[in-house]
Amino acid sequence: QSVLTQPPSASGTPGQRVTISCSGSSSNIGSNTVNWYQQLPGTAPKLLIYSNNQRPSGVPDRFSGSKSGTSASLAISGLQSEDEADYYCAAWDDSLYNYVFGTGTKVTVL
């Protein structure tokens, strides 16, 4: 059981905006930075957002992250077919002394 909860699925049509939530607690999101990973089908995860809202070089600015209190969100604006993937949030947990991943959200482009 992950301590970071995400909705199992999200969907949208091309061009729409999709938002994925990540709910945690004071020992993880509440006190540490949140990272987001994208896992395209059959491939290894890739860092999408780090330090709550920073994009690594090469990540389109359609992807944005935010954090408030013990929750974080990933937004995909201008949804494209190549965005179909699983998305995971993650953070260090001070109580568990563990780097924890969210439950994962599958994004489908309709």
Partner 1 sequence: QLQLQESGPGLVKPSETLSLTCTVSGASISGSSYYWGWIRQPPGKGLEWIGSIYSSGSMYYNPSLKSRVTISVDTPKNQFSLKLSSVTAADTAVYYCARQLAGRPLDAIDPWGQGTLVTVSS
103 binds partner 1 (CB under 8 A): yes
Bridge partner list, 20: 74
Q: Which of 56, 80, 108, 110 binds partner 1 (CB under 8 A)?
A: 56
Strands 85-93 and 98-101: antiparallel
99 binds partner 1 (CB under 8 A): yes
User: Which is closer to partner 1, CB of 78 or CB of 92?
Assistant: 92
CB 21 within 8 A of CB 67: no
Q: Which of 23, 71, 88, 107 binds partner 1 (CB under 8 A)?
A: 88
CB 38 within 8 A of CB 46: yes
Nearest to 86 by CA among 36, 51, 49, 14: 36
Binding residues vs partner 1 (CB under 8 A) = 2, 32-33, 35, 37, 43-47, 50-51, 56, 88, 90, 92, 96-104
